[in-house]
Chains A and B, each alone.
Chain A
Amino acid sequence: MAKQMIKNLLRKGSAAAVALTLALASLALGAVTNPSAAEDSYSFARCVQDKKAANVLVMMDESGSVYQSDPNNLRVAGAEVLISRLQRVADTYSTPINVMLAGFGDTFVQRTDNWVALQPKATDGSDSLVSTARKFAQKTPNMRETDTLSSLYGATNALAAAPSNSCKLLVFFKDGLDFQSFNKNKPTVDPNFKDIQAMLDKGKNPQAEAAAIDEICRKGGVADALRVDDNIYTFGVALNTNNGQNEGLDAFRSLIEGGGSCGTLPPKGKLLTVDDSSNLPSLFGSALDPDFQPSTHHGAFTLAMPRALASVNMLSSGVSSTFDDFTITLPPTCSEPAPIKITRGTDINGQTVGNSVKVTAKWAGANPADSQTLNVTVSHTDLADDKCWVGSWTINPGSDTNSELYFDADLSAVATFTNDAAVLVKGEDGKASQSFKLAVQRPSDSSVVPAGSLDPALDFKITGYLRNAATKEPVASSWDNTVVTKATVDADQTLSVDGLDLGDYELVLTMDVSVKDFTERLSPISTQKTIKIGTPAAAPTISGVTEFKDIDGANRKQANVTFVGSPDADFEISIADMKTQVNAVQFPKDIEYELFLPAGTADNIKIGKNATVTVPVEIGVKLEDGKTDVNAQGAVRGQLLFAAKAVGVQQDVSQVKGEFTATQLASANPISQILWTIFFMAVGIALPIGALILITVLLSRFPDKSVSGNVTSAAFNVQYANGEVTNAAELTSAAADLGKFGYIDIAEDRKSATVGMDKFTVKVNPFGLKAISHAELSNSSEIGANSTGDDKPYMSLNLGSEWIFYTGSTSVDLFAESSTGSGTIVLIVSYNSAALTAPELMADFLRTSSNILKKLPEKSSAGIIGSDSSGFDFGSGSSNNSGNTSSNGNSGNDGFVGI
């Protein structure tokens, strides 16, 4: 009991501000003389009633600490209660409500498949959402961080993608003291924040966290991007707050409610804090009407239900696990007097009692069989039969249970303007007014209820105020002092304003119902109506702005704006006018924009009466003095405001608004541009060269044993004089002697071959297209020729049959007409193919020897002066079809014969 009292105290404490607000609001119901005293209270249902479209995003903390802070997963029960209430709004206003469930932790993670529609009078949407919500009880990989920046960025984008005229509600549940915290081991952030990721990669977590908070809170940051939408409201629930005393909570409160350093646009939101998770179902349930305090009961209670009320919703939380006898006993006059018993874990889906009362009960929580939270709605479905409705009710939810009761009379006050044109025309004196009628409607079926037909015990007061549609700030109007009662509701009403700017406003009407002798607190029902304060001649409108797409650095970017002319007069759009401006609400840090006309376009563009005119405009970064480049990038969103002056009509200059989006790109730095180009050019050149070298170096070698095992070789001394071989007969004879030939000696690495006393080593020249790989004599001063026509003493790597002749360059007389001396002839004889035999090879050598010997002096001198034919010959590429005159079966030494 004591524990419960403490809980109640805490709950009441956390709602102290709410109570104060309500007290002020109650005073305001009497007479609000100063518009600044009128508090704007949020009502999701009111917005849905006006806009007929809604998107609700529930972002639930999935970070690791939440599983300790809320071990019974009552946040799941809270989400279910919220889903149930959203379904009621959908049913009441016959409007589908789109809901998305998402996780908050390392980043924003959608848990539903985009938006799930809660269709009126249907249950499949809510069933699907409840099933998804229950998964919040399970741990996910999205639990390592409290990355508010990434998560809020995702949520903002999801809501921004929803239709602009939709009522948008972000329910943001956060646990713990940290406002922004990255994982110490492997921190991550949304890819759109590369500079922060760079800090994290360098281990600069504190700096990264400060930068992340700045990215949320700066002008044009994520907080502003969230607040810019006229129809968005943020409802925050903070759990485990150290009794509200910590910096993280202050930052979170500033984000949701303003009042701190987070965000520059007016906030539209409310934060409720709690340190005991048992209150979470109730807190989540209040998201749709956070300023209302319902009737509460502890333990069993009775009600004297009047005829005037249409339904009651009971949220019972903290149902003891040992109590399993939740009962509702309807009046004894009911034909079914037995108590309605609601067994734990078993829902009741629209059970009818006594033909006039419908009961729906849902156990909320990750595991309904252990649920401590029950959400019951009892409705009076047949108003003509009140036997089961009017009278004394007894509700027994268990002695430890707290119950919140929301009573509903199914009535609302709706303003009806003539021809549904809620436009107040501002005169030259700055005043504007218009009359309208008030109608009392039943929201459930939109039927109008004449005041005379209302239950005599029911009374009401209707009060109202006017507020700016964008900022939701109340503004002065005649309704600040107006109270309409049941007796005066049928009279003509007037809305008057004085000195207000042109633009969109909302008239909010609140119907405060009371029932004679009924002491429970009744939910006030409010409605809103969009009002326009305009000029005598209505300004043109913008039907569309084509996308600017990428704004490249400081360059201007063009888009087309389509104006729809006024039905009343011609107008002129002036780009030079002070009222023409770019109102960007999301943009990269420290960047401002301005509008230009494309070169050669004249200002004061005429928008004829009823004409549709497309005007090209340019947007560009407003550069600071001395700056020429833009050092930031990111999404840009906002409004283009154009000054529109009526031609021939004396009235205020209007501002015509059009939404725009763009993406700002940073300027390219010319130096880094050149350096990077050179870098990639170098890589582009290096890659083929590298590939070439790799191929030739790795693969240029003699064949393995399977080939070289069938190759023999021998070296013979060649004597020559006056350009003729003098021991030709001896050589011919030796070549025929197989005993002089042995298997060729190939080194283990197959990079060299030894014949006689000489060693031929593989030489690789990847750039030489003719001789890309061959073996050369170890003594580079040797000159000579071979049978493949190389004119050099090279050995082919394919080990085909060939001869190689060489002699020392120093032994050749440079000035002799023909050579005299000695050299070596090497015969390579392959048995792998039908190639030439040793005698044939020798004969071939002897046949060409005179030519070879004649060239020796020339080759010797070339060797001395350093002539080198190797190197790049990509372009020239010599042909091998002329040199190989001997047709010895060896095509030359080009190729990877050693593979």
Chain B
Amino acid sequence: MDEFNANEGKQPLQILFFGYAAVVLVFVASIVLAPKGIGAWAPYLLIWLFSVIAYVAPFAIFYLANSKVEREHASFKYDRKVVNTARFGLLVVGLASSIYISFFLATEISKALNGG
């Protein structure tokens, strides 16, 4: 990062930050709300969808925004490794959260199917 040139552009890292925050928020919401009862699969499906959007949307938006920065600031240089690690980390954390939620979603769907 020693060659980072703040005058020519800036990584939209706040998008990744919001992504991490959204992932954590949805994860905590899934634990706090913990839908129960007949038809709990529906709210779980919604929570799971949010959990996926929480990391896919910031990831994609960051991708686009970052390339825009690079395009508009052709000589812009930055520590790509750090940014890539943060970007990859969001995918890993988001995916882990959504898999955790998908287990409960799968359980509720299984119950609904088993109960007719």
Chain B associates with chain A: yes
A161 in the interface (beta carbon within 8 A): no
Of the candidate stretches B10-18, B25-33, B84-92, the one touching chain A is B84-92
Complex CA distance for A637 and B67, rounded to whole angstroms: 61
A891 pairs with B115, CB closer than 8 A:
no
In the complex, chain A residues whose CB is within 8 Å of the CB of B112: 194, 633, 666
Q: State whether A665 and B38 are in contact (beta carbons under 8 Å apart), knowing that A688-B55, A695-B63, A874-B88 are contacts in the complex.
A: yes
Please measure, in the bound complex, the distance between the C-alpha atom of A585 and the C-alpha atom of B101, giving whole angstroms: 36
Expressed in whole angstroms, the Cα–Cα distance for A549 and B79 within the complex equals 55
Inside 8 A of A895's CB, which chain B residues have their CB?
66-67, 70-71
Q: B92: nearest residue on chain A (CB-CB)?
A: A874
**Residues B78 and A631 in contact, CB atoms below 8 Å apart:** no
How far, in angstroms, from A632 to B38 measured CA to CA in the complex?
Answer: 11
Task: Please indicate the chain B residues that have their CB under 8 angstroms from the CB of A878 in the complex.
Answer: 80-81
Contact yes or no, A681 B115, CB < 8 A? no
Q: How far is the CB of B79 from chain A (nearest CB, A)?
A: 6
Residue contact A879 to B56, C-beta cutoff 8 Å: no
Known contacts A634-B38, A877-B81, A891-B77; is-contact A668 B102 (Cβ 8 Å)? no
B71 contacts A874, CB within 8 Å? no
Q: Which residue of A lies closest to B78 (CB)?
A: A881
Number of interface residues of A (CB under 8 A): 62
Could you say which of A112-120, A358-366, A479-487, A669-677 contacts chain B?
A669-677
Within 8 A of B (CB), among A652-702: 663, 665-669, 672-677, 679-681, 683-685, 687-688, 691-692, 695
Q: Which of B38, B71, B84 contacts A769 (CB 8 A)?
A: B84
Interface residues of A in 847-899 (CB under 8 A from B): 873-881, 884, 887, 889-891, 894-897, 899
Q: Report the nearest B residue to A663, measured CB to CB.
A: B37
Interface residue? B60 (CB, 8 A): yes
* Contact (A879, B102) CB under 8 Å given A632-B115, A692-B60, A874-B84: no
Question: When the two chains form their complex, are residues A550 and B36 in contact, meaning their CB atoms are under 8 A apart?
Answer: yes
Q: A680-B98, A879-B81 are in contact. Are A691 and B48 (CB under 8 A)?
A: no
Instruction: Assess whether A666 is in contact with B85, with CB atoms less than 8 Å apart.
Output: no
Interface contact B103-A667, CB-CB below 8 Å: no
| Interface positions of A from 424 to 449, Cβ below 8 Å from B | none
Residues of A close to B88: CB separation below 8 A: 874-875, 877
Task: Kindly state whether residue A138 has any CB partner on chain B within 8 Å.
Answer: no
Residues of B within 8 A of A800 (CB): 74
Nearest Cβ in chain B — how far from A894, in angstroms?
7
Residue of A whose beta carbon sits closest to that of B9 = A891
- A197 CB to closest chain B CB, in angstroms? 10
Chain A residues in 8 Å Cβ range of B55: 688
Docked CA distance A894–B64 (Å): 12
Q: In the complex the two chains form, is A669's CB within 8 Å of B81's CB?
A: no
For residue A691, which residues in chain B have a CB less than 8 angstroms away from its CB? 56, 59-60
With A769-B80, A895-B71 as known contacts, state yes or no: A684 contacts B99, CB within 8 Å. Answer: yes
> Is A833 on the interface with B (CB-CB < 8 A)?
yes
**Beta-carbon contacts of B28-72 to A below 8 Å, as 1s and 0s?**
000000001111000000001001100110011001101110110
Instruction: Report whether A877 and B85 are in contact in the complex, using a CB–CB cutoff of 8 Å.
Output: yes
Contact B105 A676 (CB under 8 A): yes
Residues of B within 8 Å of A894, CB to CB, are 67, 70, 80
- Residue pair B99, A890 in contact (C-beta under 8 Å): no
A66 to B11, CA, bound (A): 70
CB distance from B26 to the nearest CB of A (A): 12
A629 in contact (CB, < 8 A): yes
The answer to the question of B109 belonging to the interface, with a C-beta cut-off of 8 Å to chain A, is yes
Q: What's the minimum C-beta distance from B3 to chain A, rounded to whole angstroms?
A: 5
Contact A680 B105, beta carbon cutoff 8 Å: yes
Q: B106 within 8 Å of A by Cβ?
A: yes
Q: Does B113 contact A (CB under 8 A)?
A: yes
Determine whether A174 belongs to the interface, using a CB cutoff of 8 Å to chain B.
Answer: no
Q: Are A798 and B71 in contact (CB under 8 A)?
A: yes
Decide if A325 is an interface residue (CB 8 Å cutoff).
Answer: no
Asked if A835 is an interface residue, CB under 8 A from chain B, the answer is yes
Complex CA–CA separation, A666 to B84 (angstroms): 45
**In the bound complex, how far is the Cα of B58 from the Cα of A831, in angstroms?**
35
Interface contact A631-B85, CB-CB below 8 Å: no
Contact B107 A668 (CB under 8 A): yes
CB atoms of A633 and B115 under 8 A apart? yes
Q: Is A553 an interface residue (CB 8 A)?
A: yes
Given contacts A687-B56, A688-B55, contact A677 B103 (CB under 8 A): yes
Instruction: For the complex, give the distance between the alpha carbons of A835 and B75 in Å.
Output: 10
Are the CB atoms of B84 and A877 closer together than 8 Å? Answer: yes
Question: Which residues of chain B are within 8 angstroms of A307 by Cβ–Cβ distance?
Answer: none
B102 CB, min distance to chain A CBs, angstroms: 3
The 8 Å CB contact of B106, one of A633, A666, A676, is: A676
In the complex the two chains form, what is the Cα distance from A680 to B99 in whole Å? 7
- CA gap between A668 and B3 in the complex, in Å: 56
Partner of B79, one of A833, A879, A887, A896: A879
CA distance A550 to B34 in the complex (A): 13
Chain B residues with Cβ below 8 Å from A553 are 111
Partner pick for A663 among B38, B73, B91, CB 8 A cutoff: B38
**Smallest CB separation, B1 vs chain A (Å):** 9
Asked whether B37 lies within 8 Å of A695 as measured between CB atoms, the reply is: no
CB–CB B115/A666 < 8 A:
yes
Chain A residues lying within 8 Å of B84, measured Cβ to Cβ, are 769, 873-875, 877
Chain B residues within an 8 Å CB radius of A692:
59-60, 63
Q: Which 8 A-B residue pairings sit nearest by Cβ, starting from the closest?
A: A666-B115, A877-B84, A676-B106, A680-B102, A633-B115, A195-B116, A895-B70, A874-B88
15 intermolecular pairs with C-beta atoms under 8 Å apart: A630-B114, A634-B115, A663-B38, A672-B106, A674-B106, A679-B106, A680-B106, A681-B102, A688-B55, A695-B60, A877-B88, A889-B75, A894-B80, A895-B67, A897-B67
Taking A688-B94, A899-B67 as given, write out 7 further A-B residue pairs in contact, using a Cβ cutoff of 8 Å, ordered by the A residue number: A549-B37, A550-B37, A672-B106, A691-B56, A887-B75, A889-B74, A889-B75
